Amino acid sequence: MSKQDALRILEQVQNGALTPQDALIRLRMEPFEDLGYAKPDHHRGLRQGIAEVIYGAGKTPEQIAGIAAAMQDKGQHTILITRMSAEAARVLSSNSAFVYYETARIGIVGTLPAPDGLGSIVVATGGTSDMPVAEEAALTAEALGNTVVRLYDVGVAGLHRLLSHMDKIMEARVIIAIAGMEGALASVIGGLADCPVIGVPTSIGYGTSFHGVSALLSMLNSCASGVSVVNIDNGFGAGYLASMINHM
């Protein structure tokens, strides 16, 4: 149940279309459902404003399909599934409302909502190799009701590529800077933008990048103010946080 669903119930009570007793029954419905292998949290949207997201890695295709079906039955309009394998996507492909985005390893059941965020979220990458993480961030933000502007392959090895998009940088309400190697993109954007910047280190790079640790430490040590950092390759976390900021 979302906050909007709860508000509609209260409005029905106000206009007499629903008795207070019936409204209480609806609001007191079991906040989670026990499927044996999972307990979908159907009241998370009511508590936090954003419904539960399914983390696909480590779950069988059948488990993902069962959780998604339970969420659909409870009226969730957009179901986001992250780190989803192609095998799991094939199992859900019989659902006409399901779409799989292979690059991002994201599945979405239902329709993307109309953007209702206050501004745009820019998702920028250092290189093309960072696109899987970037698409995870971008699709997460879009599934949560945001307008997303993608700026890919604008890393510091060719700084003029980023500077040619200064209009988009300055118009953004939140920027997600995604980079591997030394992770310098977050600091550069942080020194240009007047909005919060979320750095996402990626595991792209040669040996001493240590699978993203080098970029993580660089971003954490950024001298640009207003830069925060999420975990290595955590595009979902960045997209989620950017959406929260954009809806404040």
Per-residue pLDDT of the chain (248 residues; tens, 9 = 90+): 566 667 777 788 888 888 887 776 666 666 766 677 677 677 677 677 778 889 999 999 999 998 898 888 877 889 999 999 999 999 888 888 899 999 999 999 998 999 999 999 999 999 999 999 999 999 999 999 999 999 999 988 899 999 999 999 999 999 999 999 999 999 999 999 999 999 999 999 999 999 999 999 999 999 999 999 999 999 999 999 999 999 99
Domain spans in the chain, listed from the N-terminal domain onward: 50-110, 120-246
pTM of the model: 0.85
Name the fold adopted by 120-246: Rossmann fold (3.40.50)
Report the alpha-carbon distance of residue 220 to residue 193 in Å, rounded.
18
The residue type found at 246 is N
